[in-house]
Structure 1
């Protein structure tokens, strides 16, 4: 795992003098990957470390605290993906009232220059910073010229006239289009969470499931998915159901994962679940017999799609 810090005042001297990639990086999608790659080129040219500056919690959560779950990547997944694409250290700046109140000048002087000793920064065309989003890329360029750090602003990264964006990926997942989301991301979307104690109903009908905590993850379309689960360093075939289980009159959202050809206790473990294909929407059944028959059909469909 890459070194990570949660406050600009705690960045050690060894990580200063960096090229800094700026952004929320939710999903670490293809647009983000292009930005990181460009920052990597700048870092290599200067013999400097490549550091990502991102924010936790997501500023949207801070400013609109009652918004529903919307995150594509929670911190562990974001750190893993940033490292995968070449980032060497991460400042996941704690986004609280004090940080939100920093002026644009303080963001540049205190965070970028004092905290990170930034030699060069790379950001997207729409990056804003400072209280009330008072700073933009033009301000960043102007201050860079005055204060001696370089600035690269990336134009929108496009696919067939459409900008790669976290918003578009969320829309795809809410529609159940996991293949489309994977194409936009450049990797399959995952839900990662602890296995929690459920009502253990699955084992009573011969279909035990792991109840994976959803946390702040975006809720994709309710229904059944073909998935893969990382277990002991290997991706294992599985089928998952996301929803409220209307057959049993439940209201709480559950993400229940059944690993094929597996027997064991997963409680308390963290599972990474890779979404491969959407099989069907959530349904209500007339009784257990109908439910069991559909579960068996879903299992066959998942195995088939995972082999495709």
Structure 2
């Protein structure tokens, strides 16, 4: 991953540059990458994914935080998995927001990235006031020595979109979200100290605080976590812990058949199945009985055949 490079190294110049926000790197994004990768690699050219951080919507509307499906590092991993040879991240700031569409084509795509071909999705807009459309790029690119490809919508009458995936995660439709992604959704975060209540109940958890704008349905999930170079199955709860404190939402993962100190480590966790909503029980004892069932349900969900429309992408 290259961040704000003044220009690209020789090995990445004269390539196919795919431009987008790519939040989630879903099936539609992957289709755009594939559209660039096949002819580029056949001609011995690199594929460079150009994206922006923070997300432009976050820059323009900071008072309305965006539920991000992928952070910067995870986005770069998934772009590489989709076929990009390198990801270039441009900082989206006042200067980039103010750049005219023509200058973006000339100064960013043609000069800094030395693009042979620029590839965008059918709905991508760029430049000041979003004046740069795919049609504008198709006209301006050749004037600056570039070929241009515009990839049509993916997914039929209702194109796959990041917003549709967010809505499904919010509704507890994890299978639907994962199928739009084309893989299992992955969260990433540092393990922090909690109240140790899970340990007292016999289910010690690795706690991760997700961004407050995360619109994941509160409940219990079957998950798999990458711990170092080892994948460990688990059962996770996301929510406010109504049995105890109704505090800020927290993602708590009980790793099955695992022992070890995880504090301070960054974990990548993929969500396999949504098991049940968050509930308040008549007693702590009843909660523990349900937690035992949750572990059994998580083991069964993880052992089930992998959904071919949403495979694991943890490694």
Mapping of residues 50-89 of structure 1, within 5 Å: 50-89=47-86
SS in structure 2 of the partner of residue 42 of structure 1: helix
Asked whether the 8 Å contact 1:21–1:122 carries over to 2, the reply is yes
Seen in structure 2, the aligned counterparts of structure 1 residues 217 and 237 have a Cα distance that, compared at 3 Å, is: farther
Which of 16, 23, 32 is the aligned partner of 1:35? Answer: 32
User: 1:232 maps to what in 2?
Assistant: 228
Mapping of residues 40-189 of structure 1, within 5 Å: 40-159=37-156, 161-189=157-185
Q: Offset at 1:286?
A: 2.9
Q: Offset at 1:11?
A: 3.1
Q: Please list the CA deviations of residues 91-134 of structure 1 after superposition, one character each: whole Å capped at 9, or x if unmatched.
A: 11111111111111111111111110111011011111101101
SS in structure 2 of the partner of residue 41 of structure 1: helix
1:199 is aligned to 2:200: no
Q: Which whole-Å CA distance do the structure 2 matches of 1:232 and 1:7 have between them?
A: 29
Q: Which whole-Å CA distance do the structure 1 matches of 2:183 and 2:167 have between them?
A: 16
Scaled by the length of structure 2, the TM-score of the pair is: 0.92
Seen in structure 2, the aligned counterparts of structure 1 residues 216 and 146 have a Cα distance that, compared at 3 Å, is: farther
1:287 is aligned to 2:313: no
In terms of mean alpha carbon deviation, does 66-75 or 32-41 score higher? 66-75
Point out where structure 2 has 5 or more consecutive residues left out of the alignment: 305-315
Q: Offset at 1:45?
A: 4.4
Q: Offset at 1:171?
A: 1.0
Q: Please list the CA deviations of residues 56-100 of structure 1 after superposition, one character each: whole Å capped at 9, or x if unmatched.
A: 111111111122351111111111111112111111111111111
Seen in structure 2, the aligned counterparts of structure 1 residues 11 and 148 have a Cα distance that, compared at 3 Å, is: closer
In terms of mean alpha carbon deviation, does 71-80 or 282-291 score higher? 282-291
Q: Which whole-Å CA distance do the structure 2 matches of 1:37 and 1:216 have between them?
A: 33
> How many residue pairs are counted as aligned between the two chains?
304
Asked whether the 8 Å contact 1:72–1:217 carries over to 2, the reply is no
Point out where structure 1 has 5 or more consecutive residues left out of the alignment: none
RMSD of aligned residue pairs (Cα, Å) = 1.5
Which of 256, 260, 269 is the aligned partner of 1:260? Answer: 256
1:23 is aligned to 2:6: no
Q: Which whole-Å CA distance do the structure 2 matches of 1:98 and 1:200 have between them?
A: 46
Scaled by the length of structure 1, the TM-score of the pair is: 0.94
